[in-house]
């Protein structure tokens, strides 16, 4: 089976012939038709997460899939051969830069019926990230004020739409060239990150979704109202994450130290910081599909490449400039 793999950290993503996926009793074998590209794939290739995501190499990358069910495990009841589905496979089943992938039934959902396969393939990771940040952790309510950084990107473009659906007033950071685009998505306030300081423009926010980390996260804490919350998807990881991930005690101590500074800053300001490492969920994808089909959420696909172009397409993510998501299609 054709796939794109990394055989050593920091090494190139390259094509290889890999074994067919193992399909367990509760797994579904999916013919990959489209796979979204994510910064997470590049960070894994670079070895940034090798301590908290200890994968065995060689590793097939890819965290988003839209495709067709080819076979179901003996205990699967929710899917049948021929179903059009989409998923963010669980961490032990990633590998959607391939012709076929096995996905646990609980992580899979029927794809939205109103989208192209490329649009469906762009959604799972970023839509689940937005959902878990705004609905699960943030519990966003009507009338609240939410800041979403990098609003023209993959996560940001979905998060803006979802936050508006939840009734929030939404601010976002974006380039001047993307200002009209993010307003069309629903942003009420647009900050040009190149020429404006969002900390000087915003105050009293209930929630910030931060995808940049570092100084940007520290400034985000300061625009929150007392009791507000910043959710970071770039890090640093916090003790709750290390505990839920089942990391060993040494790693737990290291992660606690990594996030100590930002957690203290948050505490001193009377706000909180939480790290989000998105988890797979078929149930949440079903709710997201319903929002897509009702017109609440619109997938944003900025670039489509062929399967053969997967390594170049992943490398291009680092250069930025893509609205929404980049996707590869598999013949």
| 126-275 CATH choice from 3.40.50.150, 3.50.50.100, 3.40.50.720, 2.40.160.100 | 3.40.50.720
Long-range contacts formed by 20-26: CB under 8 A, 24+ apart: 20/100, 21/95, 21/98, 21/100, 21/101, 21/102, 22/102, 23/71, 23/73, 23/102, 24/73, 24/102, 24/104, 25/73, 25/74, 25/75, 25/76, 26/73, 26/75, 26/76, 26/104, 26/105, 26/106
The 10s digit of each residue's pLDDT in 131-173 is 999 999 999 999 999 999 999 999 999 999 999 999 999 999 9
Cut 0.85: pTM above it: yes
pLDDT tens readout for residues 98-119? 999 999 999 999 999 999 999 9
What CATH number is given for 2-122+299-329 in this structure?
3.90.180.10
Torsion of CA 37, 39, 41, 46, to 10 degrees: 140
Task: Say what the pLDDT of residue 53 is.
Answer: 80
Confidence of residue 47 (pLDDT cuts 50, 70, 90): very high
CA distance to 7, 23, 100, 166, per residue, from 74 (Å): 33, 10, 18, 39
Rounded alpha-carbon distances, angstroms, from residue 252 to 43, 134, 196, 242, 307: 20, 26, 37, 6, 38
Residue 111 DSSP symbol: P
Angle (nearest 5°) at CA 75 between 24 and 113: 90
Angle at 139 between CA 135 and CA 143, to 5 degrees: 110
pLDDT of residue 319: 85
Residue 312 pLDDT > 90: yes
Measured CA to CA, the distance from residue 290 to residue 312 in angstroms comes to 33
Q: Which residues are paired to 229 by β-bridges?
A: 207, 272
Domain boundaries, the chain: 2-122+299-329, 126-275
Contact 210, 233 (CB under 8 A): yes
Asked if residues 274 and 236 have their Cβ atoms less than 8 Å apart, the reply is no
Q: What angle do CA 82, 97, 294 make, to 5 degrees?
A: 50
Taking Cα atoms as reference points, which of 64, 61, 56, 27 lies closest to residue 44?
61
Nearest to 137 by CA among 211, 67, 255, 233: 233
pLDDT tens, residue by residue, 165-218: 999 999 999 999 999 999 999 999 999 999 999 999 999 999 999 999 999 999
């Amino acid at each position: 089976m054709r796939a794109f793999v990394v055989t050593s950290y920091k090494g190139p993503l390259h094509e290889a012939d890999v074994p067919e996926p193992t399909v367990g009793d509760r797994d579904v074998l999916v013919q990959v038709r489209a796979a979204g590209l994510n910064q997470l794939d590049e960070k894994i290739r670079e070895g940034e997460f090798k301590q908290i995501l200890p994968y065995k190499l060689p590793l097939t990358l890819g965290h988003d899939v839209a495709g067709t069910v080819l076979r179901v495990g003996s205990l699967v009841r929710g899917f049948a051969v021929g179903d059009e589905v989409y998923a963010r496979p669980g961490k032990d089943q990633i590998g959607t830069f391939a012709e076929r992938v096995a996905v646990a039934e609980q992580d899979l959902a029927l794809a939205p019926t109103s989208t192209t396969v490329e649009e469906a393939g762009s959604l799972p990771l970023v839509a689940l990230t937005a959902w878990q940040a705004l609905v699960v952790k943030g519990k966003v309510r009507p009338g609240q004020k939410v800041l979403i950084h990098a609003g023209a990107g993959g996560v940001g473009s979905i998060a803006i739409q979802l936050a508006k659906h939840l009734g929030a007033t939404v601010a976002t950071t974006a380039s001047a060239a993307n200002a009209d685009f993010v307003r069309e998505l629903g942003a009420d306030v647009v900050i040009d990150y190149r020429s404006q300081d969002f900390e000087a423009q915003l105050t009293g926010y209930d929630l910030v979704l931060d995808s940049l980390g570092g100084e940007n996260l520290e400034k985000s804490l300061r625009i929150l109202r007392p009791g507000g919350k910043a959710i970071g998807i770039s890090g640093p990881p916090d003790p709750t994450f290390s505990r839920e991930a089942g990391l060993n005690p040494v790693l737990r101590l290291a992660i606690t130290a990594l996030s100590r500074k930002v957690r203290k800053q948050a505490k001193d300001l009377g706000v909180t910081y939480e790290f989000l490492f998105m988890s797979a969920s078929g149930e949440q994808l079903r709710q997201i599909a319903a929002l897509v089909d009702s017109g609440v959420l619109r997938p944003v696909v900025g670039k489509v490449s062929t399967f053969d172009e997967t390594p170049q397409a992943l490398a291009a993510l680092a250069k930025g400039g893509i609205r929404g998501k980049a996707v590869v299609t598999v013949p």
